[in-house]
Amino acid sequence: MNVFLLNAGSSSLKFQFINTDDGSVLTRGLVDGIGLETCKFIVNGKEQSKRVRNHGEAVQLALSVVEASTIHAVGHRVVHGGEKYRDATLINEDVIKTIDELSVLAPLHNPHNLSGILACKSSLPGVAQVAVFDTAFHHTLPEEAFLYAIPLELYRKYGIRKYGFHGTSHRYVMLKAREILGREHVNLVTCHLGNGCSITAIRKNRSIDTTMGLTPLQGLMMGTRSGDIDPEIVSFLCDHEHLTPGQVIDLLNDRSGLLGISGHSDVRKNRELALAGDVQASLALKMFSYRVTAYVGAYLGIIGEADAIVFTAGIGEGAYFIREQICGRLKHLGVALDAERNRNNELIVSSSDSRITVLVIPTNEELMIARETMAVLRS
């Protein structure tokens, strides 16, 4: 069966066309710069420029490179599923309505995910569509992990709680770690480090805590997101910078993190500048790795005997120097890297005498979405 996969970001659309029988990718592409004057349209490595005004047009562009009659199903990454969706779900009018309602919790993502769904509904009538939710893997969090220490009636009234994100990625690398380690059940700390970052504590294959919360803003310092801050900072900036609460949230989402410290959101650029003596770039990298280490250490403390620490996504897979900084601070827990393996970004980067295995597993959210789409259709 051929599944068309859509992964919509705030200004981009990744897509793949996968044969689920053998896992082969028939077509892959990216529409990057939606809404800008010039947009990159990349298909199977070949790039051209287009003017793409919105995500609906981006989906039409993606569909134009695939023969519609060969698409048997469409799988969508949907960021927020709230408490209602604990598994991948066949899309109908009720699901569309709920995804729209949940846009208040993920305003940078759910509306664009919904645009993709509606565009496919129009262009591919009769083709089944499945929503695979970023939050679903984290529905196993216990109450003591997902509740905030605010009046309980606010959770009951509004659903204010930790939901967690990047669940598809964390689940994928958990399954791969099981294969690599040859274990039926695994205890892991999985680190999804990219422009967006999150860490998950996994005990016996189940997520028991994760760094992102009600929204993807909580947790780690990221490319442009602040991560954890004192909540009073919001009112302080409203008073002293004469900003609205919404403007402060925009600042924390779009102008903070690595970008806010050094002026550059890309870890590679910060590394280049740090090696050239840029003090702020060096500070940004130190802050980033420090915060990752703090959460890894905390999560190692709650999962029990750890089988592995897993790094994935762009930074996790490719930035050996970040892994060096993180694992260097965990020596007292018996974590040791093999310097050569780590620099080569090998699968196992820990040394033979490390008490905890350290893995670098490339994530494949699209393949995970395809598998979950098929599982829904089979059921």
In a domain, 150, yes or no: no
3-state class percentages of the chain: helix first, strand second, coil last, to nearest 5: 45, 20, 35
Distances (CA, A) of 350 to 291, 339, 355: 21, 8, 9
Whole-number pLDDT of residue 189:
98
326-355 pLDDT, tens digit each: 999 999 999 999 999 999 999 999 999 999
Of 32-36, 133-137, 172-176, 264-268, the range with the lowest mean pLDDT is: 32-36
Q: Which position has the higher pLDDT, 64 or 179?
A: 179
Where is the domain boundary, 98, 133, 168?
A: 133
Please check whether residues 239 and 337 belong to one and the same domain: yes
Please check whether residues 121 and 187 belong to one and the same domain: no
Please check whether residues 114 and 210 belong to one and the same domain: no
In a domain, 268, yes or no: yes
Q: Mean of the pLDDT values across residues 71-82? A: 92
Please check whether residues 191 and 248 belong to one and the same domain: yes
Q: Mean of the pLDDT values across residues 268-273? A: 95
Q: Which residues are catalytic?
A: 134
Please check whether residues 225 and 339 belong to one and the same domain: yes
Whole-number pLDDT of residue 10:
67
54 pLDDT band, cuts 50/70/90, is confident
Ramachandran angles phi, psi of 89, nearest 5°: -140, 135
Q: Indicate whether 21 pLDDT > 90.
A: no
Helix (H, G, I), strand (E, B) or coil at 41: strand
In a domain, 377, yes or no: no
Q: Give the pTM.
A: 0.91
In a domain, 175, yes or no: no
Whole-number pLDDT of residue 277:
96
Residues 6 or more apart whose Cβ sits within 8 Å of residue 343 = 320
> What tokens appear for 317 in the block?
């897979």
The total of structural domains in the chain comes to 2
Q: Which domain holds residue 284?
A: 181-360
199-243 pLDDT, tens digit each: 999 999 999 999 999 998 999 999 999 999 999 999 999 999 999
Please check whether residues 114 and 243 belong to one and the same domain: no
193 pLDDT band, cuts 50/70/90, is very high
Q: What's the rounded Cα separation, in Å, for the pair 170 and 198?
A: 9
Ramachandran angles phi, psi of 308, nearest 5°: -165, 155
In a domain, 170, yes or no: no
109 pLDDT band, cuts 50/70/90, is confident
In a domain, 262, yes or no: yes
Whole-number pLDDT of residue 68:
80
Strands 89-90, 128-133: pairing kind? antiparallel
Which element (helix H / strand E) includes 72? none
Distances (CA, A) of 79 to 109, 133, 301, 372: 6, 6, 28, 15
Please check whether residues 280 and 342 belong to one and the same domain: yes
Tell me the one-letter amino acid at 318.
G
Helix axes 110-123, 93-101, angle to 10 degrees: 160
Strands 12-19, 39-43: pairing kind? unpaired
Please check whether residues 214 and 330 belong to one and the same domain: yes
Of 32-41, 150-159, 316-325, the range with the lowest mean pLDDT is: 32-41
CATH number of the domain encompassing residue 262: 3.30.420.40
Q: Indicate whether 249 pLDDT > 90.
A: yes
Q: Mean of the pLDDT values across residues 100-126? A: 87
User: What angle (nearest 5°) sits at the alpha carbon of residue 258, between those of residues 346 and 241?
Assistant: 165
CB 138 within 8 A of CB 207: yes
- Average pLDDT of the chain? 92
